[in-house]
Amino acid sequence: MGHFGFSYVGLTFLLLLTVPNLIWTKHQPAGYDPHGESKVLLGFERVGQVCVTCTVLIFLDFNPHGWSPWMLWLIAACALMLLYELWWIRYFRSKKGLADFYSSFLGVPVAGATLPVTAFFLLGIYGKVVWLMASVVILAVGHIGIHLQHRKEILR
């Protein structure tokens, strides 16, 4: 269920998530308007963000604890976070339009939402912390849902 303590892996994942988003605030896509977002999805997203942030920091289980085949979950989570960073690089080099922001990457739909959410879920599997996995599901409903909503609007 989880052992309490500080997770430096969790902090690293949060930094990999937060830094590009902070940069994005100065490079938002032309025409971006969050005002039409579903209040229900936004609620799921906000609750999920708080729960994921707290959970990923307070369990030692996310820190490596010796090699085993179970480490493959952590490696997969790290690989997805690397892909997320590459997606951001592609976005920042693009024309920064709405289609760029809600784009797929290497076959992953709405990659800016899907890649980090999936990475955090795999981190939860690695740490065997059901609280993180549950928090990520709540976040995914809202965050991926909002991205899909925007993607659908720009494809009209």
Identify whether the C-beta of residue 142 lies closer than 8 Å to the C-beta of residue 43.
yes
User: Token digits for 80?
Assistant: 């997805």
Q: Ranked by mean pLDDT, which of 2-6, 67-71, 150-154 comes out on top?
A: 67-71
Phi-psi region of 63 (alpha: psi -120 to 50; beta: other; left: phi over 0): beta
Please give the angle made by the CA atoms of 115, 123 and 59, to the nearest 5 degrees: 135
**Count of CB atoms within 10 A of residue 55's CB?**
25
105 beta partners: 108
Q: pTM for this one?
A: 0.96
Residue 59 has pLDDT above 90, yes or no: yes
Residue 1 has pLDDT above 70, yes or no: no
Mean pLDDT of 102-119: 97
Which residue in this structure is represented by tokens 């990659």?
111
In this predicted model, what pLDDT tens digit does every residue of 4-40 receive, in sequence order? 999 999 999 999 999 999 999 999 998 888 888 999 9
Domain boundary assignment for the chain: 8-27+36-154
Residue 3 has pLDDT above 80, yes or no: yes
Query: Crossing angle of helices 71-93/8-24, nearest 10°?
Result: 10
Residue 154 has pLDDT above 90, yes or no: no
